[in-house]
Structure 1
Amino acid sequence: MSDKKKVMIIAHFCDYGQENSNNRFNYLASFLADHGFEVELVTSSFSHRDKMQRIEEKNERRTYRTTLIFEPSYHKNISLKRLFISHHKIAQNLRKYLRQCDCPDILYCAIPSINLSEVASEYAAKHNIPFVIDVQDLWPEAYRLILKNESLYRLATGMMKRRIERVYGSADQIVAVSQTYAQRAKSVNTKCDNPIVVYLGTERFFYDNDVSNYASKYTKPDDEFWVGYCGTLGHSYDLTIVIEAMKLLADRGARNIRLMVIGSGPLEEKYKQKAAEMGIAYTFTGKLPYGQMCKQLSQCDIAVNPIAKGAAQSIINKHADYAIAGLPVINTQECEEYRNLLKYYNCGINCDAGSVEQVAKAIDSFVNDKKLTVVMSQNARKMGAEKFERSKTYGEILKGVQEILGLK
C-alpha cells in the first residue's frame, strides 16, 4: 500500500486524453504527482469546449489518474438545459461516485461549477478532510452581462449566490486565479486567513517549443501590422470596437493593418460579417490546437483584450498567452487588477470599455512607433516570466497543500 498522500481534484472543466488547451488542473495534477502525491482528477464525460462526449481511454499516459463522471450533453453555454439538467445530473453522479471511492486525504475543487463544488463541500465535511477551493470565475456575477436589469438579475441569481457563498464559507483554504476572486470568496469565509493567488499561467518551455516546431497556418507579409486576438468569441468580449477602430484608422489613411482572430465561439459569424461590412483586412483562423495557436500568436505585433463593459472576468488565460508571447496589449477590461499590471510593467495601453476612438488611437500609437512596440514587448515578456510562468508560480499551491496536510 502506498504511503503517499492522496489528493482528489474535482474540476468540472478540464482536458482529457489528447485534448490540450493548456488547462490549469491538468497541469496541477501532474505538478502535485511529480512532488510525491497520489492524484486523482475527477472531471466530466462531456467536453464543454468541444460540445461532445469523451471516449474513455484505458491507457491514458499520465502521472495521475482521471475519472470521468457522466454529464448529459448540451449545445449552448448559456441555456436552461445546461444549468438545470446537465449540471444537476453530473452532481448526482459525482455524489454516487464519492460514496463508493476511497476517501482522499484532501479534496481540491475548482469553482465553477456550483453544483460540483456543493457536492465536494458536503463530502469533505462528512469525512472531516481538508477542503480547498480554486476560484476560476465568479458565478452568478458572470450572468450580469446577460441579465442586464438589476432587479431581474437579483431575482434570477439570488439562490445561486446563497449556494456558492455556502461553498466559499466551507473552504479550509482558498486558492484563486486573481486577487479580485480571492477577496470575493474570503468575504464570506472565516476559516482561511491567507488566500493563495496564483494566476492561470502557462509554460514558457512548451510555448517556445510550439513556436519553433509548428508550421504557420498563415504567413505574415513583411509590410503588414497584425493586431491579434485569441480566445472565445462570446458575449464577454467586444470585438466590434476593435473592428470599428480599424475602420476608423483606414478612413484616416492607415494601411496594411490586419486583425488576426484565433478562436471560435457563438459570435464568430457576427464578427466576420462586421469585419466584412467595415472593409478591414481580417483573418479568422477558427479554433486551433494550443501549439498552433501559440505559433500564430507569435507572429502578431500587438494583442487586444476587448472585454465587454460590466464583464466579471479578472485574470484570464489570454493574459498569460499574450505575456508569454511578448505582445503589448490594448486593453478595455475594467478589472483594476489587470489594468494595474499593464501599467506597472508598462506593457500595454488601457482604454475605456466601448471607446472606439481610444482603441483606434492606441493601435495607431503602436503602428507609428516601433520603439514603443519593442519596449512594451520586452516588458510583456518580463511580466510573463514573473507572473505567469507556472514552473515558478504553482509552487505556492503546492506549499498550501503541504501545509494544510501538515507536511511543512
Structure 2
Amino acid sequence: MDIVIVSQYLRDIECFESNNSRFVYIAKLLAMSKNNNVEIITSDFNHTKKEKFNKIGKLDGVKITACHEPGYSKNVCLKRFNSHKKLSKNIKEYLEKRKKPDIIYCAIPSLAVGKIVAQYAEKNGVRFVIDIQDLWPEAFKMVFKIPLLSNAIFYPMKRQANYIYKCADDIIAVSDTYRDRATSVNKKYKNKLTVFLGTNLEYFDKCKEKNIKHYNDNIIRIAYIGTLGHSYNIKTIIDALELLKEKYNNLNFLVMGSGPLKNQFEAYAKDKNINCEFTGRLEYPEMVGTLCSCDIAVNPITHGAAQSIINKVGDYAAAGLPVINTQENLEYRNLVEKYNIGYNCENSNKQDIANKIEILIKDKKLRKELGNNNRKLAEEKFDRKKTYNQIVKIIEGN
C-alpha cells in the first residue's frame, strides 16, 4: 500500500532520533509492514524556531519530502497565512507529479494545506483520512476577542475547515471535542476515532532516568510546559503565587517553553516579585528530566480557549505529577475528576487557584497519591504503544 502522510508541523526534521511527533511515530509503525510504502510530506520551515531547516534527516523505511515554505516571524500574522498558501501550492504540485497514492493521511491544521490535499484526494479518488490536532479558526479567535468582528474575519477559514471535514473518509482526532466538530458536518465517514496525542512512555521513562534532577531541599517546584501565548494564562498562576508568597517562601515556578508573550510573562513575574524561572524551549529529553524533578504541574488555559486534550497534559500524566487545572473544556475536566489527578479550578480565579495549590503544598502524601493516579491515566490513555495501533488499523483499512 502506497501511503502518504501530510504533516506540516513535524517538529525537528533534521534529526528524527528524538522527534516525538505523532506522525513520525505512526510512519514508523506503518513502515514495519513490508506491504507498505510510506512517505511523509512536510514543510522545510521550522515553525518552532521560525527559520528554515538546514537539512533533512533520515528516517528508516520512510521517505521524507520537505516542500518549500517561505516562513513567518509570528504565530498570528497575515504573513503566516500567506506562507501556508504558498506551501499548499508546492504540495499540490508535488502530489500531481508523483504516482497516485492509495491513501493520504493528513494532519489538520493548517487549513490551506488540508484543503489542497482534500481537493486532490477527491479529484483522484484517493482515500482521505484526517487527523485533527487543533481547531481552526476557533484557536485564533482568542487573539481577536470581538465576537461579531472575529466571526466575520474567520468565516472563510470556517468554510475551509468544513470542506476538509466533509471530504474525509475517516476522521481521527486528538480529542472527542475535535472529532465531534468534524463529524457534525460530515455524514459519509466510515470510521471516527479519538486517540490522545500521548507519548512513548518507554522513551519518556528513559529520558527521565537520564535527565532527572534530585534535590535535597524543601523547595516546592511548580511546572508549566508549552507555548507562551494568548491561549495560556500564566499571569493567573503568578497572581495565585503572589497570594501565597508571604506564607510560603519555598515556591519556585518553573516555566518551560517559548512564545510571543514570553517577555511579557517574565516582566509580570518580576513585577510581582515571584520566584520564577523561564527556561525557554528545552529539547525533549531535558524537558522530561526537568518536569519529573517538579512537584506540581499547572494547566492554565485562558477562558474560552478551544483547546481540549493537549500535549502538556499527556506529559504531566507521564511525569506522575498532580495537576492544577483551569481549562474549561469538559473533556479534560472530567478526566481530572474521574482519575483523581488534581484539582479543577475556576478559570482566572487566583484565590481558588491559590487555595488548591496550598492544599498540595501542605500535603506531600496527597501529591504522591494524585501523581500516581495521573501516571495510571498515562498508562491507560496516553501510551502510544497501546493506543496508536488503532490509528494504523484505520489507515490500513483493517
Q: After TM superposition, is the score higher than 0.5?
A: yes
Is 1:222 the counterpart of 2:217? The answer is yes
Change (3 A) 1:143 1:109: same
- Of 166, 169, 173, 1:169 maps to 166
| Distance in 1 (alpha carbons) for counterparts of 2:238 and 2:61 | 44
Match of 1:188 in 2: 185
Is 1:261 the counterpart of 2:255? The answer is yes
**Consecutive unaligned residues in structure 2, runs of 5 or more:** none
User: Per-residue deviation at 1:17?
Assistant: 2.2
| Distance in 1 (alpha carbons) for counterparts of 2:277 and 2:332 | 27
| Distance in 1 (alpha carbons) for counterparts of 2:190 and 2:268 | 49
The amino acid across from 1:168 in the alignment is Y
Secondary structure of 1:138 counterpart: coil
Is 1:14 the counterpart of 2:13? The answer is no
Is 1:347 the counterpart of 2:341? The answer is yes
Q: Cα deviation per residue 1:328-369 (whole Å; 9 max; x = unaligned)?
A: 110000110000011100001000110101110111000111
The amino acid across from 2:72 in the alignment is Y
| Distance in 1 (alpha carbons) for counterparts of 2:84 and 2:278 | 32
Q: Cα deviation per residue 1:165-219 (whole Å; 9 max; x = unaligned)?
A: 0110010000000000000000000111541100001011111111112365xx6
Is 1:160 the counterpart of 2:166? The answer is no
Secondary structure of 2:396 counterpart: helix
The amino acid across from 2:244 in the alignment is L
| Distance in 1 (alpha carbons) for counterparts of 2:279 and 2:352 | 26
Structure 1 contact 144–310 (Cα < 8 Å) conserved: no
The amino acid across from 1:8 in the alignment is V
User: Per-residue deviation at 1:115?
Assistant: 0.7
| Distance in 2 (alpha carbons) for counterparts of 1:132 and 1:305 | 30
Change (3 A) 1:304 1:385: same
| Distance in 2 (alpha carbons) for counterparts of 1:120 and 1:392 | 29
The amino acid across from 2:46 in the alignment is S
| Distance in 1 (alpha carbons) for counterparts of 2:191 and 2:101 | 24
- Of 368, 374, 379, 1:385 maps to 379
Q: How does 1:3-402 map to 2 (within 5 A)?
A: 5-15=1-11, 16-18=13-15, 20=18, 22-36=20-34, 37-57=36-56, 60-83=58-81, 85-214=82-211, 216=213, 220-251=215-246, 253-402=247-396
| Distance in 2 (alpha carbons) for counterparts of 1:124 and 1:303 | 42
The amino acid across from 1:199 in the alignment is F
Secondary structure of 1:49 counterpart: coil
Structure 2 contact 197–311 (Cα < 8 Å) conserved: yes
Q: Cα deviation per residue 1:100-153 (whole Å; 9 max; x = unaligned)?
A: 111111011010000111111111112212100000000111122112111101
Structure 1 contact 21–289 (Cα < 8 Å) conserved: no
**Bigger shift: 37-46 or 277-286?**
277-286
User: Per-residue deviation at 1:221?
Assistant: 4.5
Change (3 A) 1:234 1:72: same
User: Per-residue deviation at 1:56?
Assistant: 3.0
The amino acid across from 1:363 in the alignment is I
**Consecutive unaligned residues in structure 1, runs of 5 or more:** none
| Distance in 1 (alpha carbons) for counterparts of 2:341 and 2:211 | 27
| Distance in 2 (alpha carbons) for counterparts of 1:376 and 1:56 | 43
| Distance in 2 (alpha carbons) for counterparts of 1:18 and 1:50 | 15
Structure 1 contact 110–117 (Cα < 8 Å) conserved: yes
Structure 2 contact 3–103 (Cα < 8 Å) conserved: yes
User: Per-residue deviation at 1:55?
Assistant: 2.3
User: Per-residue deviation at 1:285?
Assistant: 1.2
| Distance in 1 (alpha carbons) for counterparts of 2:154 and 2:71 | 23
The amino acid across from 1:6 in the alignment is D
Q: Cα deviation per residue 1:265-307 (whole Å; 9 max; x = unaligned)?
A: 1111111111111112121111110000000000010100001
Relative to the length of structure 2, the TM-score reads 0.97
Q: Segments of 4+ in structure 1 off by > 4 A?
A: none
| Distance in 2 (alpha carbons) for counterparts of 1:56 and 1:296 | 29
| Distance in 2 (alpha carbons) for counterparts of 1:35 and 1:375 | 41
Secondary structure of 1:134 counterpart: strand
Change (3 A) 1:402 1:111: same
Identity level (%): 42
User: Per-residue deviation at 1:39?
Assistant: 0.8
| Distance in 1 (alpha carbons) for counterparts of 2:302 and 2:190 | 33
